Amino acid sequence: MERIASVIVPTFNKATQLENTLELLLNQDLPDNLFEVVVVDNNSIDNTKAVLDRLSSKYLNLRYVFEKKKGPAAARNRGIIESRGDLLIFIDDDMRVTSGHIRMHMEFHEKLGQPLCVVGCWRDNTQHDTWLLDLYYKNHLPIISSDNEIVNPGLSLASGNFSLYRSTLELVKEERDGETNYFDERLLVLEDGDLGYRLEVAGVKFCYSKEIFIEHCHAYTKRQTINRVYQAGYFQYLFDLKHPELLGHRRVIIVRNQTINTLLLSSGFLVFIFGYLFQWISPRLMLKGVGACLLFKISKGYQKAIRDSVNRNIYCDK
């Protein structure tokens, strides 16, 4: 009997993007009986359920699951529990995949030794409603492919395009409050890097493939972008508490002092204004100003997590 692949898709209020993603996922160059797609609705209040009900009547290998606990980690954990396949493929709800997406994941695992985590490459076509943010992120996107040396493969794990066998995932499960966690549900951000790091420590090999290619297609408002940056700072602190040995490997600089952080914001504005006035020479200075302002927001989130950890005993244990 051939092994079955389960594609796990967490979703939250992205009905239109989700429908586009599922139409591509469910029209693969594989027989339908070789894979299933498990969509975990994480408390959506748009027409996500209507979309899934309509598609479920058309595709028998599409399954709908509702998870009331908030966060992508909780949704993915529920998907893992509900899925039936040996091979687990993770993808986000706003991705565009090729018709060979599932087959290529399966083939890499069949030809390479285990335990293994296969990570595909991706192109980010995210759009921002502010031209400055759009320009900034287009100039600061990480490029991950098999052509590049991945210094910290576990920490670089991106949840939108990777796969592993269920038996591999069992190597790093965590028991907490009487429940099994694969993704750490306390981390609303960095939950994928946390999982990747634990896999790497457990001796799992990582294979980065440029053949398994996806496109990330989403649109963010300025408010959403700022909130995401703030959340990244907040949960970076919880991640640091859980993995203090990784402080030297952190890719983001955090300003813990509020006064210095305020000076950073002021400096960022000055640099941006100067760069904007002279952007005809080079736009880099203007973008550095934008980066300084975003760093201010990241640091604000980090500082808030520190205060919460003191006032409410927030912690991440090993």
pLDDT (tens, 9 = 90+) of the chain, 318 residues, equals 457 899 999 999 998 899 999 999 999 999 999 999 999 999 899 899 999 999 999 999 999 999 999 999 999 999 999 999 999 999 999 999 999 999 999 999 999 989 999 999 888 777 878 877 777 777 765 544 444 456 678 888 988 899 999 999 999 999 988 889 999 999 999 999 999 999 999 999 999 888 998 988 777 888 888 899 999 999 999 999 999 998 877 777 888 888 887 887 788 778 778 777 777 676 778 888 888 888 899 999 999 999 988 776 665 554
**What's the start-to-end Cα distance of the chain, in Å?**
39
Query: How many CA atoms are closer than 13 Å to the CA of 308, on its beta-carbon side?
Result: 14
Q: Candidates 3.90.420.10, 3.90.550.10, 3.30.450.40, 3.30.365.10; correct CATH number of 5-220?
A: 3.90.550.10
Per DSSP, helices labelled H in 8-114 are: 15-25, 48-58, 72-82, 101-111
| pLDDT confidence of residue 237 | 94
**Cα separation values, 36 from 85, 287, 296, Å:** 8, 43, 43
| pLDDT confidence of residue 145 | 45
Handedness of CA 62, 65, 70, 73 (dihedral sign): negative
| pLDDT confidence of residue 200 | 95
| pLDDT confidence of residue 251 | 72
Amino acid found at 286 = M
287: which residues sit within 8 A by CB, 6+ positions away? 135, 136, 139, 140, 275
What is the reported pTM?
Answer: 0.88
Length of the chain: 318
Secondary structure (3-state) at 299: helix
∠ CA 284-279-218 to the nearest 5 degrees?
Answer: 60
* Rama region for 225: left / alpha / beta (φ>0; ψ in -120 to 50; rest): alpha
Find the radius of gyration of the CA atoms of the chain: 20
| pLDDT confidence of residue 34 | 95
Residue 309 DSSP symbol: H
